[in-house]
Structure 1
Amino acid sequence: MSELLTADRIDEIGNLGSKSPDPAALVAELVGAVDEGRVADPDDIGFALLVAADILEQAGDLADALTLATRAVAEQPDDNAYARGVRGGLLLRLGRTDEGMAELTALRPLLETNPKSMYLIDELVESGHGDTAMEWLTGALDAILERTRTQQHESEDAQDEAAAMIYGLAQQRHDLREEQGLPHDEYDNLADRLRAASDHALGALDDGPATLLFWPQAEFTALLLRWPALADSYPATWDEHRAQIERALVEASGLGGADLGVVVGTAAGLAAFAEPTGSDPTSEETLDEYADSLDEAGVTAWPPGRNDTCWCGSGAKYKKCCLPRSRD
């Protein structure tokens, strides 16, 4: 029997994508594993199909990409909003505007309740429906602000979630208007005030530094081989490590954090840092001090633009790599 298809291998294929000399072989590997029941975790079947659909889309085969996205929707009946968003975008790009808009419009309420639903805006913009994207962003802001005015007795958690939603929507709308060359309006001014306030608020955060220590895949492996005791401090796989970093940055941003970023560590660098003082490389204090020492060497700012290269070093676009990990 052929090997099982693991989540790590799906990620690896997704990072290769259209850069592979044979993207068709990657699609065949993914779809073949699904068809033959060789996906290690059944919950990853939809994920595998969406990665295959993305490779086909990058190659210009929108019709077959749509077929796979539709299969992904069927494989995730209880949690298929993202797959439906991808399908809606593909329908738009195939000229099936009524169907595509119907799919995305059904998901539109998520913009008022789920901070991870910005992929709906991406699909609209990439399909040439920037005006509709602007309308939806404005409508979501209107709805959330009205809700905060009329529901004065919401829990503290609900208030924090609403504040994070307002911040994210306002910034996305602001960036989109800048791309379209539109003048500032009331919500743009709000976005500027929120961003300025977040700079001040960052200093008061108690949840950790603005810069997080990230280990590239080879270094993550070397780190745990050299100091096995660190296995208790880090996730089981490198993929989970970068997903954890992405989620932590999203949460810090939602709390008002600004000037966020990552610094890249190396096992050799950590050893060299700890050796002169005899520090324990596996202690949290040493790791924090090592991360601080790297700040001066250069911080990779977070988040990158959706179409920019991902911060994790995969070479893939952020929107196709670590951005979706914050939706898990």
Structure 2
Amino acid sequence: MDWYVIDAIGVSYERTKKCLFKPFDLWKWVKLAMVLALVGGGGGHGGNLFNSFSNSGMGSGYGHDHISDYDPLGPIDGAIASMLSAAVLPFIMLLLLLIIVLMYISSVMEFVLVESLVSNNIRFWEYTRRFLGRGFQLFLIRTASLLLFLLVLALAVLPFIFVYDMPSGDHLWLSLIGGVMMVVFLLIVFVIIASVLGSFISMSIPVAMYCNIGVLSAILEVLRKFRLDWQQIVVYWVGRAVLGAIVGIGALAITILVVLITLIPFLILDIIVYSLSSLFLSGFEWMVLLPLVLVEMIFFIIAMTLASMPFGAFLKYHMLSFVEKWYPEASIPFGQGIDIKAEETTGFLA
């Protein structure tokens, strides 16, 4: 019996090599790295520092034996505390809005990435407009899954909170230890379940695209196929874990190499600039050094993103190559894009 997860390794390697190096196109690398980066991707305790400080005996009368109980800083403290309290809610709302927007962008980029790799042609804005609808469907499914996960996690942690509020004693510590172990166990189980669910969702994306069906329908189709051929998927999960570890080690080695190549020259340049600027701007060297460091950080982030991009592309090609064999009904059109012969590809990309 052939295991598709193994067969897909060689195929995905060749497709990655052809996509990124035949021919090498820096602008193509930048666009694909940007897509992969976009794919990648609050509360309070009921009080505030100013109220606690004021109620401690230091902010109100400085003690019982003080001449007067009047605190001249009290109105100022109250005004600052009110301003901070008023700013917390908008900040939380803004943070939630940002998370929602990034989740939606990530969902759309999942489709953009698949189409870019299959067609070997990255048309960022065209693909983005094309998959806004399916991206929204994926966003809703992911949001519902996340809310369900948080609800179940809250229900699991709730008994632990009640135990924490119990009076102290020997049984309390035993209960706390047992509660912590239970929470850790549940977290591990939830991570496994989330990984399995994420695997099914990833496989459903090309099915939805090339079978021209909704994302939820595609997930149901993948689950139906799983019931018929579950052995391949179980081996796929194990193989992907091993392959992910190997690819992660390779990515780490490349990351360290990029750090050495970029940071050492940057440090030498910073030392030179600091030494020269100190001769003319004594005490104000930061005016020259700060913009330089910001530019270096931007360049460093870009270099890291470009260096890690081939590993992400390879893993996505591996998933698509597996689905191509495991779910042939999807009819992923590799033959119209990445699998076209070299002379045909040149005309296609022109």
Regarding TM over 0.5, the answer is no
Of structures 1 and 2, the larger Rg is shown by: 2
Q: Aligning the two structures, in what range does the TM-score lie when normalised by the shorter sequence?
A: under 0.3
Structure with greater contact order relative to length (CA < 8 Å, sep ≥ 6): 2
Whichever structure has more helix as a proportion of its residues is 2
Query: With structure 1 as the length reference, what TM-score do the two structures score?
Result: 0.25
